[in-house]
């Protein structure tokens, strides 16, 4: 199924991709597109983490959502979808909410990359700390809600971010904890659209683009293609 991909990369690179384990935490707008594109790019061991069930409000932006699966666990839906795309992909699902108290649950697995597509600030902090401590590569998604222009998305070091309230908090953490290594994030330079309430607006294309850029970053890193980011 990867014949067209092999036209772009060497067979040895496809083997490297297949032997890479990626953990994706958060199976929403960003995470869903990351999981699908990672699967279709040859990643053959995926650890997927999410505690949520599919809700009708997910239909406008989350790849795996349909009226027919509302109420189902996102991890269950994704396990089935991944296997339907690539039956040889090993899927490890964790239907739980990851916190400081239980993050060690992921220490049961050898992980090459962590994709942080979750919404919880404290979990994002813990994932960065865990990745650094265990020498695991990580890429973290900043906010994609209240954004309308996917062309403003860019992969950059957390220290280079602006306009994003999530990034601001993580920048402070990196500074306060004297973290010297680069933490790549996907972040938008677009100022947030103001809405008339506390509900965050969303669309189908900005989170999707963020998820695809994350996969592009990981695949190119695996095959040792130079990635230049700010």
What pLDDT, on the 0 to 100 scale, is given for residue 162?
A: 86
Q: What is the DSSP string of 14-69?
A: HHHHHT-EEEEE--SHHHHHHHHHHHHTT--EEEEE--PBP-GGGTTT-TT--GGG
* pLDDT bucket at 225, cuts 50 / 70 / 90: confident
What pLDDT, on the 0 to 100 scale, is given for residue 195?
A: 86
Helix (H) or strand (E) holding 128: helix 121-133
Is 80 exceeded by the pLDDT of residue 227? no
pTM, full prediction: 0.96
Rounded CA gap, 12 and 91, in Å?
23
Domains of the chain plus CATH, in order, are 3-222 (3.40.50.720)
pLDDT in tens, 53-105: 999 999 999 999 999 999 999 999 999 999 999 999 999 999 999 999 999 99
* pLDDT bucket at 194, cuts 50 / 70 / 90: confident
The vertex-227 CA angle with 226 and 230, nearest 5°, equals: 140
Proportion of the chain above pLDDT 90, given as a percent: 90
Q: What is the mean pLDDT of the chain?
A: 95
Rounded CA gap, 218 and 22, in Å?
9
pLDDT in tens, 3-17: 899 899 988 999 999
Rounded CA gap, 57 and 104, in Å?
31
Helix (H) or strand (E) holding 210: helix 206-222
Q: What integer is the mean pLDDT of 171-190? A: 96
Contact criterion met (CB below 8 Å) for 162 and 154: no
């Amino acid at each position: 199924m990867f014949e067209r991909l092999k036209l772009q990369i060497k067979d040895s690179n496809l083997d490297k991709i297949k032997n890479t384990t990626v953990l994706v935490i958060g199976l929403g707008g960003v995470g869903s597109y990351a999981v699908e594109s990672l699967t279709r790019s040859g990643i053959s061991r995926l650890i997927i983490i999410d505690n949520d069930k599919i809700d009708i409000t997910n239909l406008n932006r989350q790849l795996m959502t349909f009226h027919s699966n509302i109420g189902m666990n996102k991890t269950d839906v994704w396990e089935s979808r991944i296997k339907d795309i690539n039956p040889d992909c090993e899927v490890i699902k964790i239907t739980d909410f990851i916190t400081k108290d239980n993050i060690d649950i992921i220490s049961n697995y050898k992980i090459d990359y962590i994709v942080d597509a979750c919404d919880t600030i404290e979990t994002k902090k813990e994932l960065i700390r865990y990745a650094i401590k265990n020498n695991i590569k990580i890429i973290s998604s900043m906010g994609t809600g209240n954004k309308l222009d996917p062309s403003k998305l860019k992969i950059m070091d957390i220290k280079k971010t602006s306009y994003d309230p999530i990034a601001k908090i993580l920048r402070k953490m990196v500074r306060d904890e004297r973290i010297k290594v680069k933490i790549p994030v996907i972040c938008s330079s677009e100022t947030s659209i103001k809405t008339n309430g506390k509900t965050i607006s969303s669309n189908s294309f900005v989170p999707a683009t963020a998820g695809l850029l994350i996969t592009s970053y990981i695949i190119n890193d695996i095959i040792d293609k130079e990635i230049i980011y700010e």
